[in-house]
Amino acid sequence: MCLAVPGKVLAIEDRDGTRMATVDFGGVVKEVCLEYLPDLRIGEYAIVHVGFALQRLDEESARQTLELFENLGMLQEEFGDPWEQAAAEAHGPEPVGGDTGTAAREVRP
Amino acid sequence: MKYIDEFQDPGLAGRLLDEIRATVTRPWALMEVCGGQTHTIIRHGIDQLLPDEVELIHGPGCPVCVTPLEVIDKALEIASRPGVVFCSFGDMLRVPGTGRDLFQVRGEGGDVRVVYSPLDALRIARQNPDRQVVFFGIGFETTAPPNAMTVYQARRLGVRNFSLLVSHVRVPPAIEAIMRSPDCRVQAFLAAGHVCSVMGTGEYPELAERHRVPIVVTGFEPLDILEGVRRTVRQLERGEHTVENAYPRAVRPGGNPSARAMLDDVFEVTDRAWRGIGVIPDSGWRLSARYRDYDAEHRFAVSGIDTREPAACRSGEVLQGLLKPHQCEAFGTDCTPRNPLGATMVSSEGACAAYYLYRRLELPAPSREGSSVV
Ligand code: SF4
């Protein structure tokens, strides 16, 4: 939850008086509120935390961070099914390692 | 080193390490505040790559871990009530309250839903006007602005069946409490980068000056951590204690002004209890008077809860950097991620979980000379 993930703005629209964007996180697309970065434009990158764009980011550092997160399985942790994760922790086998890179690759388009 | 390829630029990592080694002349203890940083450090074995003189102490920066048991118990109580839809981030599901967790509440028929954003909870409230929708608002300065905006929007849109169970915490008072502790060994801080993305760096110069402690704002990728350590050690060796920003790509000095303005509008500073640590003055937020209607604690009058911390759990000492997770007797035996005694083991950002997931597998520790980055 504490993870802030860089994403690229694909589209922007006003919804019920709130500025919202469609944002691509290395293949996972989510709705993001732009109220805290109102001048963010289509094609730009931002650090997004729990559905809110918090700070602009340049493309190069955004791309590097996304690649790193993907390799480390952190995107899967952030965007995967939390019920499945909780169930796996509650009933599944003991975790045997931190390398969830294979699972993370599934979030790619 | 298992994850060394993922340093992005092993050459740069090697140069940073070389410079740290060339600079350091005596032992220093640095605290990384953020749980995300702790995980990067353990996962990449950064603590093992650093010279022996540099010790990294893990800080209290895991929002799930520091949420007090009493608040978890209130969440469980509210989530169990008929007519309530209880919304939470996924990593709160398995945090143990007294006797059970949110995952079990759902198994018993409670309508517990996981959302990605607090705005999802507000949408659920608008779609279900006959239900009471409660969002579990925990977290540091990074998470508080989204929750503040959601309450603001609820009020603006006239949504009456939405409320927030608030347990927000602030980093600077925690740093203050750590520095004031008589057992404190921390000589410098790697401050949490994403907290500063919102708040800027303005709260730190006074702290750095008063405690004569270097504070370096640091991101949480491996190279960010090494750069933070390099700058911190350089200051310590020179006898300096200033605030430096080693994460400029995401942190502007003033932070995010509109997020800060919203925080000031929706929340007010209050004393908060930190799990395992106790009450730290001015260390949290609660809803300000004009938003009190949206406070779930008022709406649901939760009281009479019998809260019991597991006696064996030493997470309070872990969170203050007084004990390393594997020094806890229950670590890896009575306490595992599958059967956690404390939040520091259940949270994916907790220090105990980090040690359990990564450290054990790397024993015996890889030799420094054998690493490909040196
Ligand atoms: S290992 Fe478990 S019991 Fe020990 S401090 Fe960590 S969470 Fe608590």
* Residue with CA at minimum distance from ligand 1 atom 1: B331
Among B318, B319, B326, name the best residue to mutate to test ligand 1's pocket (greatest count of ligand atoms within 8 A of Cβ). Answer: B318
pLDDT of residue A32: 96
**CA–CA separation, A54 and A68 (whole Å):** 20
Which portions of chain B are predicted below pLDDT 70?
1-8, 303-304, 359-374
Backbone torsions φ then ψ of B223, nearest 5 degrees: -65, -35
Positive or negative, the Cα torsion across A37, A38, A40, A45? Answer: positive
* Residue with CA at minimum distance from ligand 1 atom 2: B335
The residues facing B280 across adjacent strands are: B272
| B118 touches A at CB < 8 Å | yes
pLDDT of A52 higher than 60: yes
Angle between helix B257-266 and helix B144-156 axes, rounded to 10 deg: 60
Positive or negative, the Cα torsion across B352, B315, B196, B178? Answer: negative
pLDDT of residue A40: 95
pLDDT of residue B251: 93
* C-alpha neighbours within 13 Å on the C-beta side of residue B5: 4
Binding site membership of B327 for ligand 1 (Cβ less than 6 Å): no
**CA–CA separation, B274 and B293 (whole Å):** 25
What type of residue sits at position B196? C
Residues 7 through 36 of chain A touching chain B, CB cutoff 8 Å: 16-18, 30-31, 33, 35-36
pLDDT of residue B121: 97
Backbone torsions φ then ψ of B188, nearest 5 degrees: -160, 155
CA-nearest residue of chain B to A97? B357
pLDDT of residue A88: 66
Secondary structure letter of residue B359 according to DSSP: I
pLDDT of residue B95: 85
| B339 touches A at CB < 8 Å | no
pTM value is: 0.86
B148: burial class by Cβ within 10 Å (0-12, 13-18, 19+)?
buried
Residues 20 through 39 of chain B touching chain A, CB cutoff 8 Å: 34-36
- Residues in B touching A72 (Cβ below 8 Å): 3, 6, 43
- Residue whose C-alpha is closest to residue B103's, from B351, B280, B340, B368: B340
- Are the Cβ atoms of A2 and B119 closer than 8 angstroms? no
Best of A5, A28, A50 to mutate (most B CBs within 10 Å, chain B): A50
Residue B34's CB: how many other CB atoms inside 10 A? 28
Structure tokens at B269: 């500073």
State the nearest Cα–Cα gap between A3 and chain B, in angstroms: 7
| Model confidence band, residue A8 (pLDDT cutoffs 50, 70, 90) | very high
Structure tokens at A12: 């922007």
**CA–CA separation, A71 and B358 (whole Å):** 16
Binding site membership of B352 for ligand 1 (Cβ less than 6 Å): yes
**CA–CA separation, B229 and B190 (whole Å):** 7
pLDDT by residue (tens digit) across A60-84? Answer: 888 877 777 777 666 676 677 767 7
pLDDT of residue B170: 96
The per-residue b/e assignment along B317-351, b for 16 or more CB within 10 angstroms, e otherwise, is bbbbbbbbbeebebbbeebbbbebbbbbbbbbbbb
- Are the Cβ atoms of A2 and B142 closer than 8 angstroms? yes
| Model confidence band, residue A104 (pLDDT cutoffs 50, 70, 90) | very low
Binding site membership of B62 for ligand 1 (Cβ less than 6 Å): no
Positive or negative, the Cα torsion across B38, B350, B325, B280? Answer: positive
pLDDT of residue B161: 97
Secondary structure letter of residue B331 according to DSSP: B
- Residue whose C-alpha is closest to residue A45's, from A36, A55, A33: A55
Best of B93, B126, B217 to mutate (most A CBs within 10 Å, chain A): B93
pLDDT of residue B357: 84
Residue A109's CB: how many other CB atoms inside 10 A? 7
Binding site membership of B88 for ligand 1 (Cβ less than 6 Å): no
The residues facing B192 across adjacent strands are: B218
What type of residue sits at position B101? D
